[in-house]
Structure 1
Amino acid sequence: MKIEFLASILSLLFVALSCDRPKEKVNSSEDKIETKKSTTISKEENKISILKNSMLEYMENANPSYTKIDVEECAKILNNYVSEISNSGSKDEGLEIVKITVEKLNKLNEKCDFELIETSEREQIAEIIIVESSKKGYNKPEEDITEAWREW
């Protein structure tokens, strides 16, 4: 009797759980790619957001020569870089994107009397650029591909 009671409860639980849950695709490679892309973009956007927030927070405690608009421009340059590098088709194209991005950041930093990108920001920005390029296979993760053009 106890076994029959336990079996009927388990059957009810099975039915209840299977009815309430939405159907999921099983091992769809498209889903895995989509999830991976979304996660990757999300992580890089998060790194850029952390950098931006750090710069803005510093502005509250100090009187730097840069403005909120300059910080937003820096974030825009980095977000554009992430998008462009992920859509690039060759190492040569990717390295040209890196070069253009670093040169834009050089000009922005110069406009800000070289105060926008200091040691901490340099490390964060270089990491974003290097990691995204290495995901495409254009460099090794430990290889600083910004150094040739970087003035910050």
Structure 2
Amino acid sequence: MELLMIKKKTNRIQNIKLYKIIIFLILLTSFNIVRAQQKTGIGSIDTLIFDLKTNMEGYLHENNPPYVQDDIDLCIATLSDYVVKVLDTKSKDEGMKLVKATVLKLNELNEKCDYSLIETNEREQIAQIIILAGHEKNYNAIDEDITEEWREW
């Protein structure tokens, strides 16, 4: 009887520990999602980047495209890096050089992925992110496609 009581108490303690671990993991995951959304410091752009990543990952998991998670991560990192850097530029010329470099890098990545990483929806989202960041610096109008000159996607 005493052994049974000890066993029940041990099970309760293990369950409590398990619940604590689950709660910790949920909080950690929530924190990482929020942190990932705050990479550039501009909420609207961070949301666009997060949505783009979510859409690309959803497609990756539902289909069998010729790209992998690392390609998505590189695309997202390239865009986040662009936004941070363009916000730090001092002139429109400097900003436009950064736009060109970013678009060319995305062209190369898309080519590596057999031109399937950046499809119509992604193209619109990526262009919107690049345009919005340039607009934040007053380098372009909100409806001016500053990617078109170099874009192959």
TM-score tier by shorter-chain length is 0.7 to 0.9
User: Which residue of the partner structure matches residue 133 of structure 2?
Assistant: 132
Q: Is the CA contact 2:40–2:83 (under 8 Å) kept in the aligned structure 1?
A: no
Q: How has the CA–CA distance of structure 1 residues 63 and 145 changed in structure 2, closer, same or farther, with 3 Å as cutoff?
A: same
Deviations 1:56-84 (A, max 9, x none): 11011110001000000000000000100
User: Which residue of the partner structure matches residue 53 of structure 1?
Assistant: 54
Aligned residue runs from structure 1 range 1-152, under 5 A: 41-152=42-153
Q: How has the CA–CA distance of structure 1 residues 90 and 47 changed in structure 2, closer, same or farther, with 3 Å as cutoff?
A: same
Q: Aligned residues, how many?
A: 115
Q: Is the CA contact 2:100–2:150 (under 8 Å) kept in the aligned structure 1?
A: yes
- Whole-Å separation in 2 of the counterparts to 1:46 and 1:105: 20
Letter paired with 1:52: K
- Whole-Å separation in 2 of the counterparts to 1:99 and 1:111: 18
Deviations 1:4-35 (A, max 9, x none): xxxxxxxxxxxxxxxxxxxxxxxxxxxxxxxx
Letter paired with 1:48: I
Alpha-carbon offset, residue 40 of structure 1:
5.3
Structure 1 gap ranges (5+): 1-37
- Whole-Å separation in 2 of the counterparts to 1:43 and 1:140: 17
Aligned-pair identity (%): 50
With the length of structure 1 as denominator, give the TM-score of the two structures: 0.73
Alpha-carbon offset, residue 129 of structure 1:
0.3
- Whole-Å separation in 1 of the counterparts to 2:71 and 2:94: 27
With the length of structure 2 as denominator, give the TM-score of the two structures: 0.72
- Whole-Å separation in 1 of the counterparts to 2:47 and 2:142: 19
Letter paired with 2:97: E
CA root-mean-square deviation = 1.5
- Whole-Å separation in 1 of the counterparts to 2:40 and 2:94: 24
Q: Which runs of 4+ in 1 moved over 6 A?
A: none
- Whole-Å separation in 2 of the counterparts to 1:39 and 1:58: 24
Structure 2 gap ranges (5+): 1-38
Alpha-carbon offset, residue 39 of structure 1:
9.4
Q: How has the CA–CA distance of structure 1 residues 39 and 79 changed in structure 2, closer, same or farther, with 3 Å as cutoff?
A: closer
Q: Is the CA contact 2:100–2:147 (under 8 Å) kept in the aligned structure 1?
A: yes
Letter paired with 2:59: Y
User: Which residue of the partner structure matches residue 5 of structure 1?
Assistant: none
